[in-house]
Amino acid sequence: MHGRPRKAPTEEEQEASVVKGAKLRSIQAKFFQFHHTNTYTKEALEVNAKLLEMNPEFITGWNYRKLAVQYHLEAAQSDEDSIKSILDEELKVVESALMTNFKSYGAWHHRKWVLNMGHSSTDRELFLLKKFQKLDARNFHAWNYRRFVTALKNIPDEEELQYTTDMIYENFSNYSAWHNRSVLLSRLLKEEVEGYYPKEKVLTEEFEFVRNALFTDPDDQSGWFYHLWLLDQTVKLEHLLVSSWPPNGSNVNVSDYCALSPSLSSISRTLPLILCFSEAVGGINSSTVSVVCESNMDSNLTWTPISVDKSGFARTWLTYLTFSSEPMHPSRNYLVKVSIANSEGIISSAGFCCSNPSHMAFTVCLPSSNTEFDEGPDIERIDWSEENFSSNQLHSENLGLINSFNELTISGGNKKTYETNAKIIADEIAYCRELLSEMDCKIGKLTLARLLLAYDALSSASRGVQDQNMFQYKEILELYHDLMKLDPPHFQYYKDQYSLVFLKQELANEESLLKYCYQYRDSTSLSNNSLCLCLRGLSLSQIGCIEQLLWVQMLDLSNNGIRSIEGLESLQLLCCLNLSNNKICSFSALEPLRLLKSLKVLDISHNEIGAHPIDTRRYLCASPLSHASDWKREEFVVSGPEMTIYWDAFSIFSGLNLRQLSVTGNPIADKKFKLFLCKLLPAMKWLDDEKLR
């Protein structure tokens, strides 16, 4: 366990184990006789107590004791002495079991159950806990039980916090004490108890406190984990909205985006509106988000979360603005204002309410009423070869639409808070650099990288705009590069973090972003916006900065090391996507594609789909053929044995309206699979560079 090799038992230990096993089976047989006949005599309880002392993990034994206690309590009625005697006996049995195994879940749970009866001394429990914690100060069962007892006894959190301080000074490596400290401090900060406000003052003191542990033993992880918790408390941003499409201050022609609408009509003009938040939120609806337009617009907006978590929250939310046509009027520009006021209805996954208002505005150009809409131009084959893309001077309207760095309103009070917290993080960066100058510490390097990223987030929030320090990004990348060498078992994690930071660096501002923007040679093959973001050949293993890419309609991610496309579901304007020559090994890794209803062109050629005989990710999604699934067999476009083999491909592609698909170079892409795709995607015109009839 924990990397330590298991020692082979000696001959004496084996003999003792055989004897103990025989005795345990004998006692267990007697116990089951009593249990099956609902016998709760003194003899039966003594047998049960012996059994639990030998095997405290025997849950059936503890459940039997609960039934026995309830039986005897009913017989005792209101005799206080008898009740106390019964419960005291239970505490003794639990204590004997804990002496055998201090980490028995069943024993601790039974002791809680007894204390909830309200006839036991909590003072005695605290005394007993101190004895146990002298034997093992880090045992999390004892700390969990201590929280339970202090809640029953109504001991103030301030007193318990001092107890954790004393325990930590005894041993800086007491992870359970650090964890208990974070639980207590969370409540004290939330309730703004006297002496624990303002929050910035408390965090500064806590950083100083944990620093003593870090400098004493930098290789112990307990203090570093608490430091990470403090960092999370410091960097939390109450300003949730980070970007939108259309961007603030942009001018959008509705006719350029009509093909992205869920339904088309000759009497309506429809435009998607996307809001992206710093973390998953819930409560986005017409009452919490106000959308006002000078033109006649349908005010009954339905907001749809993209990629919902278990709580129904999502980072990205989508709605469609529908503008009525105005007869006899030529094309006109109309102002649209979007406001998220202070609202308790919008709650983040971390429990924050949207306490800061956000305001943005953009103009839409509505074509005249006689303009006809269709599904856009008939897409011919998109050739992803480099020679088909040029970096000519981009048009000014394109520059406006890719500007996702919204200057949203942030109240002055919060700006001051962000500035204060940024100063706290800056001090921690200096101390961390000082520590690393004296020794090569892996977790110290990881913490410094996280501190630098946190400083960027806070300093950007205090200014209200994205204004990143390029040298800082360079230092973070160097740290992750070192960690990949120092800690090979966690190489992939560091590689993913390196990719995310690298993208932050390259897309940090409009000037650096434009280096990756190219014009497709044949704009008639696409919509009116043929701008492509080319991120090919950058050794990326993960995709980030999604909030800055909401404008993207054509994206080239080929020749990287991408294994998952998590996050791409937010790019609701995406029409063309190139994922060729990556490391995607299953259709399950392409799950976000199901939510990209505007996708017409997809290239997943030369990946590893089908190369692995057992794809564990495949079982994260229920088969449409399983009894637990809500799929309806009569809705399948295709049927037969192919569905049994390719159901995961069906689950990804069936809801898409692809016109061009490339799967060549994947082990699964045989003739049989391609025939399956042709049946599944009747609108498809190109498959692996071959035109279909």
The pLDDT of 556-560, averaged and rounded, is 97
The CA distance from 242 to 84, in Å, is 60
Give the tens place of pLDDT for each residue, 95-115.
Answer: 999 989 988 999 999 999 999
Which pLDDT score, from 0 to 100, does residue 324 have?
74
Range of the domain at 129: 14-196
Q: How confident is the model at residue 423 (pLDDT cuts 50, 70, 90)?
A: very high
| Residue labelled with tokens 């794809």 | 615
What six digits make up the tokens of 356?
A: 């800061």
Residues near 451 by beta carbon (within 8 Å), at least 6 away in sequence: 231, 425, 428, 429, 432
The pLDDT of 439-456, averaged and rounded, is 93
What six digits make up the tokens of 392?
A: 């000519």
Instruction: Select the more confidently predicted residue: 39 or 415.
Output: 39
What six digits make up the tokens of 382?
A: 């998109």
Which pLDDT score, from 0 to 100, does residue 628 have?
38
Indicate if 463 and 517 belong to the same structural domain: no
Q: How far is CA 479 from CA 180, 220, 473, 494, in A?
A: 31, 20, 10, 9
Last residue within a domain, chosen from 476, 505, 534: 505
> Which three-class secondary structure state does DSSP give residue 173?
coil
Asked if the model's pLDDT at residue 438 lies above 70, the reply is yes
Indicate if 525 and 469 belong to the same structural domain: no
Q: For 332-347, give one letter per residue: b (16+ CB within 10 A) or e.
A: eebebebebeebeebb
Residue 442 phi, psi (nearest 5) = -60, -50
Average pLDDT along the chain: 84
Asked if the model's pLDDT at residue 624 lies above 70, the reply is no
Last residue within a domain, chosen from 376, 402, 426: 376
**Domain of 46: which CATH number?**
1.25.40.120
The CA distance from 404 to 604, in Å, is 28
**Closest to 605 (Cα-Cα) out of 553, 660, 525, 654:** 660
> Which three-class secondary structure state does DSSP give residue 98?
helix
Indicate if 518 and 646 belong to the same structural domain: yes
Indicate if 584 and 464 belong to the same structural domain: no
Strands 343-348 and 389-390: unpaired
**96 falls within a domain:** yes
The CA distance from 650 to 608, in Å, is 18
Indicate if 514 and 658 belong to the same structural domain: yes
Which residues, in sequence order, are bridge partners of residue 320?
272
The CA distance from 151 to 168, in Å, is 21
| Residue labelled with tokens 């938040």 | 277
Least confident segment among 231-235, 349-353, 567-571, 641-645: 641-645
**557 falls within a domain:** yes
Which pLDDT score, from 0 to 100, does residue 631 have?
45
Indicate if 265 and 139 belong to the same structural domain: no
Whether residue 537 contacts residue 559, with contact meaning beta carbons closer than 8 Å, is answered with yes
The pLDDT of 130-134, averaged and rounded, is 84
Indicate if 497 and 568 belong to the same structural domain: no
Q: Does an H or E element contain 636, and which? A: none
Asked if the model's pLDDT at residue 160 lies above 90, the reply is yes
Q: Give burial (CB, 10 Å; 0-12/13-18/19+) of 285.
A: middle
Least confident segment among 237-246, 361-370, 394-403, 513-522: 394-403
The pLDDT of 212-231, averaged and rounded, is 92
What is the distance, to the nearest Å, from the Cα of residue 335 to the centroid of all Cα atoms in its chain?
36
**400 falls within a domain:** no
> What is the Cα Rg of the chain in Å?
32
C-alpha torsion angle, residues 103, 106, 111, 113 (rounded to 10): 150
Q: How far is CA 217 from CA 123, 171, 213, 220, 402, in A?
A: 35, 11, 6, 6, 48
Which pLDDT score, from 0 to 100, does residue 149 have?
93
Give the tens place of pLDDT for each residue, 306-323.
Answer: 988 877 899 999 999 988
Indicate if 533 and 650 belong to the same structural domain: yes
What six digits make up the tokens of 226?
A: 């608490």
Indicate if 265 and 315 belong to the same structural domain: yes
Q: How confident is the model at residue 491 (pLDDT cuts 50, 70, 90)?
A: very high
**98 falls within a domain:** yes
Asked if the model's pLDDT at residue 401 lies above 60, the reply is no
Indicate if 585 and 614 belong to the same structural domain: yes
Residue 575: CB atoms within 10 Å: 25
**170 falls within a domain:** yes
Which pLDDT score, from 0 to 100, does residue 466 have?
45
Q: How confident is the model at residue 467 (pLDDT cuts 50, 70, 90)?
A: very low
Which pLDDT score, from 0 to 100, does residue 96 have?
93
How many CA atoms are closer than 13 Å to the CA of 202, on its beta-carbon side? 22
Whether residue 228 contacts residue 450, with contact meaning beta carbons closer than 8 Å, is answered with yes
**468 falls within a domain:** yes
Instruction: Select the more confidently predicted residue: 334 or 660.
Output: 660
Asked if the model's pLDDT at residue 375 lies above 70, the reply is no
Long-range contacts of 410-419 (CB under 8 A, 24+ apart): 410/239, 410/356, 410/461, 410/464, 411/356, 411/357, 414/238, 414/239, 414/356, 414/461, 415/461, 415/462, 415/464, 417/200, 418/237, 418/458, 418/459, 418/461, 418/462, 419/458, 419/462
The CA distance from 276 to 242, in Å, is 6
Instruction: Select the more confidently predicted residue: 96 or 631.
Output: 96
Which pLDDT score, from 0 to 100, does residue 123 have?
86
Which pLDDT score, from 0 to 100, does residue 458 have?
84
**Domain of 354: which CATH number?**
2.60.40.3710
Count of domains in the chain? 4
The model carries a pTM of 0.84
Asked if the model's pLDDT at residue 461 lies above 80, the reply is no
The CA distance from 234 to 426, in Å, is 12
Indicate if 188 and 84 belong to the same structural domain: yes
Which pLDDT score, from 0 to 100, does residue 72 have?
93
Indicate if 440 and 353 belong to the same structural domain: no
The pLDDT of 454-474, averaged and rounded, is 70
Last residue within a domain, chosen from 330, 357, 376: 376
The pLDDT of 10-32, averaged and rounded, is 86
The pLDDT of 398-414, averaged and rounded, is 49
